[in-house]
């Protein structure tokens, strides 16, 4: 078991975040997309990554599937495991940000408490909460992964929106009404907001 008394992070001799950001000509940030399953988080994240790449800005998409298939493959969906899932994601995001990389995070992260945990780890100045807002009935009608169907039949307990509550952000940095806007319109809204923040060109 690691003890804080035996851990000595050697960050003072490392190349600084400011130097890395200057090299990349971009600012490290975490774009934290929250919303129901099926709201369009991952679709928008992948599209946003391509826009940033085309503009010479380096980013990394983190979403539930690629994280749970790897670093968090040992976690389930209990409340404690959900919290640990978000804690690890936030710690990984913080490392990317310290290198000047932008992470585009797509996680239901259903409670305000769990999102506050992520923000506290990453840092308020580097954490941008983006609410991808789509009504449950729209998300369920998409159901590309069949998750809502499984939840309704009892195969997935505590599924957010069906038998577990989603708490919308009180004051997100940006809200995208993905049921009312097209993918391109949603993407335009995102890029117009983010580019001035992450680019130093």
Active site residues: 109
Phi/psi for 24 (5° steps) reads -85, -10
Q: Would you say 189 and 133 are in contact if contact means Cβ atoms under 8 Å apart?
A: no
Cα-Cα-Cα-Cα dihedral of 169, 128, 179, 47, to 10°? -160
Q: Which residues partner with 106 through β-bridges?
A: 33, 63
Alpha-carbon distance of 42 to 35, in angstroms, equals 10
């Amino acid at each position: 078991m690691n003890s804080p008394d035996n851990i000595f992070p050697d960050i003072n001799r490392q190349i600084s975040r400011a130097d890395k950001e200057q090299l990349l000509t971009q600012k490290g940030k975490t774009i934290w997309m929250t919303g129901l399953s099926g709201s369009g988080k991952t679709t928008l994240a992948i599209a946003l990554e391509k826009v940033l790449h085309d503009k010479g800005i380096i980013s990394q998409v983190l979403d539930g599937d690629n994280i749970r298939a790897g670093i968090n493959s040992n976690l389930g969906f209990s409340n404690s495991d959900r919290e640990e899932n978000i804690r690890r994601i936030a710690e990984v995001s913080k490392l990317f940000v310290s290198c000047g990389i932008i992470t585009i995070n797509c996680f239901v992260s259903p409670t305000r408490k769990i999102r506050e945990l992520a923000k506290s780890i990453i840092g308020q100045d580097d954490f941008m909460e983006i609410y991808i807002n789509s009504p449950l009935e729209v998300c369920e009608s998409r159901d590309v992964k069949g998750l809502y169907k499984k939840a309704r039949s009892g195969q997935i307990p505590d599924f957010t929106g069906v038998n577990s509550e989603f708490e919308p952000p009180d004051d997100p940095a940006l809200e995208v009404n993905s049921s009312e806007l097209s993918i391109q319109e949603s993407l335009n809204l995102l890029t117009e907001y983010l580019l001035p923040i992450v680019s130093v060109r």
